[in-house]
Amino acid sequence: MDRLQTMTVFVAVAEEAGFAPAARRLGLSPPSVTRAVSELEERLGARLLHRTTRTVRLTESGERYLADCRRILTEIEEADRHAAGLHAAPQGMVMVSAPALFGRMHVAPILLDLLDQYPGISFNTLFVDRIVHLVEEGVDVAIRLAELPDSSFSAIRVGSMRRVICASPDYLAAHGNPQHPRDLAKHETINSSHMALGGEWSFQQGEKRFTVKLRSRLTVNNADTAITGAVAGRGITRVLHYMVARQLEAGQLKIILGNYELPAVPVHVLHKEAGQTSARVRAVVDFLAERLRKEPVLKL
C-alpha cells in the first residue's frame, strides 16, 4: 500500500478499536489491514498501537499520529472536492462539541435544522462538560462558554452568559433574601463543583472582586442536580443563566444578588481550520453563529 492508503487503514483501526472491524469498514481482509499497520510502524520506527488478544489501544505516539493523519486526509478530501468543482456544495461529516446541557438545549435543535438545510452534511456530536481538544479528538466545530486563550483556532463570538445566584421563592420566604454576598454565610448553599473553587464563590462590586466562603451541605458535579435542589427549596445555587431560564420564567426560581454578579461569560463558535475553510465546516459555523446570536439567553 502507498502512504495515504496506510494512513487510511491506521485511522480506521484506531477509530474502530480493532483490525477486524476496520477491515470490514474498508472492505479489506484482516491480514492485509494488520500487515499495513505493521509496515507503517516499521517505516516510522515507532509503535502506534498496543495490541492484546482483546483490545487495540493507541500509544502516545499513535494518538499524535492519528490527529495528523485525520488532518492530512481531510485536507486531501477537500482538495479533491475543490478540484472537482464541489467545494461550494457542503457535504461530509462534521463533529460538533458543546457543554452537555447547552448542547442538548440549544445546539441540538440547530443541528437538526442543519440536516434539512444541507442534505449532504452529517453530524457526530460530543456534548460533554470538559475541555475538548479539537485536534486530538477530531472535533471540527466547538461551542465554548469561557474566555478563550490565544490560539491558532478561529473563533466567532455569538454572545455572553450571566452567572446567576438563585433560589426558590419558598426558600427565600422561609430563610430571608440575602442583601449582600456575606449574608450567604447564614444560608444553605448548593455548590456545583464546576462553578466554585475550594467551596467559595467570587463576586464583584464595581472594580472590586471578593470571595465568600460557602456553607454547603450539598456539593454536586452537575448543574442539573443543583437546579433540582434549588427548585426543591434546599438552598441557594449558582449556575449559568441559560440553565435556569425555564425555571425563572415559571417562577420556580428567583435571581438574587444581581448587583454583585461577575462579568458575563463569553460564548464562541470555535473551529480548527486555518486558511481556506472547507464548505461543510463553514456552513455549520455560519449557521450556528447566526442562530445562537438570536437566542434570548445570549447577549452580545
Confidence of residue 98 (pLDDT cuts 50, 70, 90): very high
The H or E element spanning position 159 is: strand 154-161
- So what's the pLDDT on residue 53? 75
Are 131 and 169 part of one and the same domain? no
CATH number for the domain that contains residue 119: 3.40.190.10
Kindly state whether residue 266 falls inside one of the protein's structural domains.
no
Are 277 and 144 part of one and the same domain? yes
Please determine, for residue 274, whether its predicted confidence score (pLDDT) is greater than 70.
no
Kindly state the cell numbers that stand for 218: 450539598
List CB contacts of 283: < 8 A, sequence separation 6 or more.
90, 114, 117, 118, 121
The H or E element spanning position 204 is: strand 200-205
Are 145 and 214 part of one and the same domain? no
CA–CA separation, 239 and 91 (whole Å): 37
Our count of domains for the chain comes to 3
Q: Do you know the residue count of the chain?
A: 300
CA–CA separation, 18 and 256 (whole Å): 53
Are 40 and 183 part of one and the same domain? no
Q: What is the Rg, in whole angstroms, of the alpha carbon atoms belonging to the chain?
A: 24
Are 205 and 75 part of one and the same domain? no
pTM comes to: 0.68
Kindly state whether residue 267 falls inside one of the protein's structural domains.
no
CA–CA separation, 49 and 61 (whole Å): 9
N-to-C CA span, the chain: 52
Q: CB-side exposure of 61: number of CA atoms within 13 Å?
A: 9
- So what's the pLDDT on residue 197? 63
Kindly state the cell numbers that stand for 108: 441540538
Kindly state whether residue 24 falls inside one of the protein's structural domains.
yes
In this prediction, what percent of the chain has a pLDDT beyond 70? 92
The more confidently predicted of residues 277 and 11 is 11
Are 143 and 208 part of one and the same domain? no
Confidence of residue 148 (pLDDT cuts 50, 70, 90): confident
- So what's the pLDDT on residue 276? 56
Are 170 and 204 part of one and the same domain? yes
What is the mean predicted confidence (pLDDT) over 121-132?
90
Are 185 and 252 part of one and the same domain? yes
> Whole domain around residue 117: which residue ranges?
92-152+272-292
Confidence of residue 151 (pLDDT cuts 50, 70, 90): low
What's the pLDDT tens digit per position in 25-74?
Answer: 899 999 999 999 999 999 999 999 998 877 888 999 999 999 889 888 88
Are 177 and 242 part of one and the same domain? yes
- So what's the pLDDT on residue 133? 84
